[in-house]
Amino acid sequence: MNDLLKYFFKFFLLTITFNFYGKVNAVEEREIDSENKVIKILYRYEITDSDVNPTFEEDYTTLMSEYFRNKNKDNPEIRDYEIKIDIYKYSSANYSYLDTEQTGYMVFEGDMVKFMRKKKYDMMIIDDRILYNDLALMQTYLIEDFFWILNPSIELFIDFAEFYDRNEFYFHDKEVFNDALYKNKIYGLPYELDFDLIYYHNNDDLSNDLVEKMSSLTWNELWEALKNNSYPLTISLGDDDDLLNFVIEYANNHYTLNKEYDKNYFNIFYNDTAHEFFETFVNLILDISEGDVGNSLYLYQNDAFLNFINGDSSLLKTKASHYKVLNQLENVSASLPPKNIGALIEKYLVVNRKSDIPTEILSEVALQLTSKDFQIFRAENFGSIPTFDLSQKESDEDIQRYCQQHSQMCDYLEKLNRLNIKEFFKSRYSPSYYEIEYMLPPLLRDNIEYHDIDRIIYNFKNIKELESTQILGYAIASWVVTIITALFAIQTIYEVYKYRDHPYLKVVSPKFCIAILVGCFMNIFKIVLRLPPYANIKARLFFLYNTISYNLIYIPMFAIAFRVYRIYSSKSIISKSLSNKYLAIAIIFLITIWGIYRAVISFVDYMYYMTHGDIDRSRFPMYEYVLYDEDHLIYENYMYFIFIVLNLFISGTGKKARKFGSLSYTFIIFIYNIHEYVSEEIILFAKDDCFGGVFLFLSIYNCILNLVCIYLLVGCRILYVKLNPNLKVNNQTDLKEFIPLELTRMGFKHTKERVKRLSSISYIKSRRDSKRGSVSSSSPNTIVVSGTNNNATYSRNQSQTGTVTSSNNKV
């Protein structure tokens, strides 16, 4: 026992000691962190550029930190802070999309999300192909599936508009700054620019001559001139950005592709001339690559640079930011690409929303790092290209000084016919740019290698078009069928209202039936409402539309079943005075509550379109919202409750439930639930080449199904009523007699015999009246029904005398 106490005492002392030292160390660490406040910044740099500028990483991290420290030594708010820049060595060469479904672009996006979430970095420098690459009307499923986040750009980055007025950013290029805006919010500050130049050996007469003509040459003409003089050329297309840039630059050599000139400019990639265009493009790469396209498609910047230095290539297409380094080489000069057309790369500084450093400090540091002073410093030391608005070079001293010291670069910027690649691919129904950058370059590279022109066209077409935008004829036919069906539904609603006092309708409450019919009417349009146009407001309204249509069907059906249950369970005669007031109040209350609940979700929650499929398949939009899982669980259980209780009331009517139509009601609910799921699955998984026919079939199927449900609900009763329009009910009538209306062959036979008897009564009365030469004027010819239990008496009112009875007739 004593030994046990000793061990316990030692353990207790050790625990206290460890806790004490742990707390001391934690305090020391916090004191160290507070003394050396470090703002960590991640800068993406292509690893293939390291051969061009091997000292960049060391120079950039050291000189930037020193300049920041010297700049803020007298700033009381920031002088205690330091910046630490890490270089992210980006490369597309280490990944194979076809083997691993990974690309360098995808890996960087994932690392960015991970670093921001874990607060590893307070800031990042990213380009325009990362910023807002997740935002579009038709969002891609890839980001959420890969990174468990929907919109990294607005969920992870702070909004600078909360801290600064736009006038603070007057010196930035207007287009570059506007590309940093999203709904009047500023999630990134312009940091620097880049674009491609053509570097050449200026001691060669042919090269000098071609450069003089470069603004008027196309890539085909440039290559022909080199080939005819046996000059070699290599183009590095191994990097995904370089491949996309080259495709779009080449297209702009031959077409004027901008929205101001032609809003449908993108159609050239899949219209009648697309095959000829891509054939010419692929043949150019094949010719430059000397018969093996892999020599270009898998060539990276570092290899192209070595080829140029060693004389294996007459020209080098690489970044303008390398101009400072390459211009120092002997006999090397630069020119803009053919026709002065080049893709502009815009880089932005973003701040981590989750950082532990105060947002005010981070925003102030971000403003400094993107200021004119810092941009000029980076231009002088690293060859970076500022984001200046060159139209202000005469009025702004700093911009003027930069253009005086870097006149050639300013000249390039002013003459460059800029291409914004992300904006180039943007259209109304195009996917998020992430999907394009992630999927298109590997697919394009693979299809070029195998000379599959049709597949290239298919991929480009899927960027702009959805499955539903390519079936105009089938869409029109679907609308025609739907409208005709809707007219039948409207006619049925009118018939129910017209014959609302007939006992066969009165027993199931015409008002409730009309509500159900309105729900069926709305359901008729559900398929065709999935056709374009698409907009966020349409997604919100369609969500609410679904809620109202289902509630108009299920809840009044529940009320009818409850009403019939009351009639059957009542031991006394329940006449037409049976009130629907409380049932109506309950129905309105439930529909209103669920309508408000769904309306709040619809207009408060973030709702968007998510495409099923991608650019390598076909895309079809489905609306989604953030609270889908929670809301779907609640709403599904609510519908299950309605379904179960409805069937309990129906079964509570006993053996006569079958005559009331319990099977019909159950069938309607079951069919609507299954129909929604089956229709959606068929739409999503229909093949491209038959999608239009499938959609038309679904539209017809949906219309027929709704007509069947309408008939099972009230159609058979209306059919009987139209054969007996004058049948009325008095206050002593037992409504139990009018609940059963069998839909079987025997039921129709029974109804037919019933009509014959009623007709014979009418015929006898007519002959009697004609013999007497008098016609009752006090009351119209009306069949009055009264009776109890299973015996009914039918009599015709006459102005004077005459009664016809019939007993032991079941309705």
Question: What does the alpha-carbon distance between residue 725 and residue 327 come to, in Å, rounded to a whole number?
Answer: 98
Residue of 109, 90, 315, 283 lying closest to 196 (CA atoms): 315
Residue of 690, 686, 687, 689 lying closest to 678 (CA atoms): 686
Q: Examine residue 628 and state whether it is found in any structural domain, yes or no.
A: yes
What confidence category does residue 192 fall into, taking pLDDT thresholds of 50, 70 and 90? very high
Q: pLDDT at position 635, please?
A: 82
Token pair 């708010």 in the structure block, residue: 77
Lowest mean pLDDT among 94-103, 392-401, 606-615, 802-811: 802-811
Q: Residue 506 to residues 206, 564, 741, 797: CA-CA distances in angstroms? A: 96, 11, 13, 21
User: Which residues does residue 788 pair with via DSSP β-bridges, in sequence order?
Assistant: 791
Instruction: With both helix axes pointing from N to C terminus, report the angle between 536-569 and 628-651 in degrees, rounded to the nearest 10.
Output: 20
Greater confidence (653 vs 658) lies with: 653
Lowest mean pLDDT among 236-250, 317-331, 663-677: 663-677
Token pair 């007459």 in the structure block, residue: 314
Q: 312: helix, coil or strand?
A: coil
pLDDT, tens digit (0-9, with 9 covering 90-100), for 395-452? 999 999 999 999 999 999 999 999 999 999 999 999 999 999 999 999 999 999 999 9
Greater confidence (352 vs 635) lies with: 352
Q: Examine residue 482 and state whether it is found in any structural domain, yes or no.
A: yes
Residue of 207, 241, 624 lying closest to 422 (CA atoms): 241
Q: Is 576 in the same domain as 701?
A: yes
Q: Is 782 in the same domain as 663?
A: no
**Backbone φ and ψ of 331, nearest 5°:** 60, 35
Q: Residue 565 to residues 307, 573, 731, 754, 796: CA-CA distances in angstroms? A: 89, 14, 20, 26, 31
Q: Which of 664, 698, 725 is the last residue of a domain?
A: 725
Residue of 113, 108, 104, 110 lying closest to 243 (CA atoms): 104
Residue of 637, 96, 164, 511 lying closest to 364 (CA atoms): 164
pLDDT, tens digit (0-9, with 9 covering 90-100), for 696-727? 999 999 999 999 888 888 887 787 777 766 65
Can you read off the two tokens belonging to residue 603?
């207009």
Which CATH number is 120's domain given?
3.40.190.10
Can you read off the two tokens belonging to residue 242?
């370089």
Q: Examine residue 109 and state whether it is found in any structural domain, yes or no.
A: yes
pLDDT, tens digit (0-9, with 9 covering 90-100), for 481-498? 999 999 999 999 999 998
Q: Examine residue 649 and state whether it is found in any structural domain, yes or no.
A: yes
Q: What is the mean pLDDT of the chain?
A: 83
Interacting residues of 64 by C-beta distance below 8 A, sequence separation 6+: 83, 85, 378
Q: pLDDT at position 149, please?
A: 94
Interacting residues of 84 by C-beta distance below 8 A, sequence separation 6+: 38, 39, 40, 41, 61, 65
Q: Is 366 in the same domain as 486?
A: no
Q: Examine residue 121 and state whether it is found in any structural domain, yes or no.
A: yes
pLDDT, tens digit (0-9, with 9 covering 90-100), for 210-266? 999 999 999 999 999 999 999 999 899 999 999 999 999 999 999 999 888 899 999
pLDDT of 274 above 70: yes
Q: Which helix (H) or strand (E) holds 610?
A: strand 607-612
The model carries a pTM of 0.84
Q: Is 645 in the same domain as 788?
A: no
pLDDT of 735 above 70: no
State how beta strands 607-612 and 138-139 pair: parallel
Whether the CB-CB separation of 743 and 713 falls below 8 Å is answered with: no
Residue of 517, 300, 113 lying closest to 509 (CA atoms): 517
Q: Examine residue 459 and state whether it is found in any structural domain, yes or no.
A: no
Q: Examine residue 693 and state whether it is found in any structural domain, yes or no.
A: yes
Lowest mean pLDDT among 253-257, 478-482, 766-770, 778-782: 778-782
Q: pLDDT at position 98, please?
A: 60
- Torsion region of 282: left, alpha or beta (phi above 0 gives left; psi -120 to 50 gives alpha): alpha
Q: Identify the sign of the CA torsion 327, 329, 335, 337.
A: negative
Q: Which of 333, 365, 383 is the last residue of a domain?
A: 383
Residue of 714, 289, 706 lying closest to 511 (CA atoms): 714
| Beta-strand runs (E) in 49-188 | 81-90, 123-127, 138-139, 181-182, 185-186
Whether the CB-CB separation of 245 and 320 falls below 8 Å is answered with: no
Q: Is 15 in the same domain as 45?
A: no
Q: Is 775 in the same domain as 651?
A: no
Q: Identify the sign of the CA torsion 523, 525, 531, 533.
A: negative
User: Which residues does residue 40 pair with via DSSP β-bridges, in sequence order?
Assistant: 84
Q: Which of 668, 696, 725 is the last residue of a domain?
A: 725
Q: pLDDT at position 30, please?
A: 38
Interacting residues of 6 by C-beta distance below 8 A, sequence separation 6+: none
What confidence category does residue 47 fall into, taking pLDDT thresholds of 50, 70 and 90? confident
User: Residue 332 has what DSSP assignment?
Assistant: E
Q: 212: helix, coil or strand?
A: helix
User: Which residues does residue 624 pair with via DSSP β-bridges, in sequence order?
Assistant: 608
Q: Residue 457 to residues 469, 488, 531, 638: CA-CA distances in angstroms? A: 17, 44, 24, 47
**Backbone φ and ψ of 534, nearest 5°:** -120, 145
Sheet hosting strand 607-612, strand order edge to edge: 138-139, 607-612, 620-625
pLDDT of 94 above 80: no
- 744: exposed, middle or buried (Cβ count in 10 Å: 0-12, 13-18, 19+): exposed
Q: Counting every residue, how long is the chain?
A: 811
Question: What does the alpha-carbon distance between residue 53 and residue 55 come to, in Å, rounded to a whole number?
Answer: 6
Q: pLDDT at position 663, please?
A: 52
Question: What does the alpha-carbon distance between residue 52 and residue 305 come to, in Å, rounded to a whole number?
Answer: 7
561-589: b (≥16 Cβ within 10 Å) or e: bbbbbbbbeeeebbeeeeeeeebbeebee
Q: Identify the sign of the CA torsion 717, 718, 719, 723.
A: positive
Residue type, 463: I
Question: What does the alpha-carbon distance between residue 765 and residue 180 come to, in Å, rounded to a whole number?
Answer: 88
State how beta strands 607-612 and 315-319 pair: unpaired
Q: Is 21 in the same domain as 66?
A: no
Measured in whole angstroms, the distance separating CA 326 from the mean position of its chain's CA atoms is: 45
Q: pLDDT at position 5, please?
A: 40
Interacting residues of 212 by C-beta distance below 8 A, sequence separation 6+: none
Question: What does the alpha-carbon distance between residue 191 and residue 351 come to, in Å, rounded to a whole number?
Answer: 13
Interacting residues of 222 by C-beta distance below 8 A, sequence separation 6+: 210, 214, 338
Residue type, 429: Y
Rg (the chain; Cα; Å): 39
Measured in whole angstroms, the distance separating CA 547 from the mean position of its chain's CA atoms is: 20
Can you read off the two tokens belonging to residue 110?
């994932």
Q: Is 619 in the same domain as 644?
A: yes
Q: 294: helix, coil or strand?
A: helix
Question: What does the alpha-carbon distance between residue 427 and residue 425 come to, in Å, rounded to a whole number?
Answer: 7
Token pair 């396209």 in the structure block, residue: 293
Question: What does the alpha-carbon distance between residue 298 and residue 713 come to, in Å, rounded to a whole number?
Answer: 66
Interacting residues of 238 by C-beta distance below 8 A, sequence separation 6+: 92, 93, 297, 298, 299, 300, 301, 303
> Max alpha carbon distance in the chain (Å)?
128
Which CATH number is 473's domain given?
1.20.1070.10
Q: pLDDT at position 756, please?
A: 56
What confidence category does residue 548 fall into, taking pLDDT thresholds of 50, 70 and 90? very high
Residue of 711, 723, 791, 734 lying closest to 758 (CA atoms): 723
Q: pLDDT at position 26, please?
A: 41
Q: Examine residue 549 and state whether it is found in any structural domain, yes or no.
A: yes
**Over pLDDT 90: what percentage of the chain?**
60
- Torsion region of 105: left, alpha or beta (phi above 0 gives left; psi -120 to 50 gives alpha): alpha
State how many domains the chain has.
Answer: 4
Question: What does the alpha-carbon distance between residue 784 and residue 764 come to, in Å, rounded to a whole number?
Answer: 16
Q: pLDDT at position 415, please?
A: 96
User: Domain range for residue 27?
Assistant: 1-32
Whether the CB-CB separation of 106 and 329 falls below 8 Å is answered with: no
Q: Is 70 in the same domain as 172?
A: yes
Q: pLDDT at position 52, please?
A: 78
DSSP states along 150-191:
S-HHHHTB--GGGT--GGGGTTB-HHHHHTTEETTEE--EEE
Q: 78: helix, coil or strand?
A: coil
Residue of 101, 111, 94 lying closest to 44 (CA atoms): 111
**Backbone φ and ψ of 743, nearest 5°:** -100, 5
Question: What does the alpha-carbon distance between residue 11 and residue 151 come to, in Å, rounded to a whole number?
Answer: 50
Q: Is 561 in the same domain as 662?
A: yes
Q: Is 570 in the same domain as 665?
A: yes
Residue of 227, 246, 389 lying closest to 317 (CA atoms): 246
Question: What does the alpha-carbon distance between residue 774 and residue 799 come to, in Å, rounded to a whole number?
Answer: 9
Q: Is 471 in the same domain as 524?
A: yes
| Beta-strand runs (E) in 663-764 | 727-733
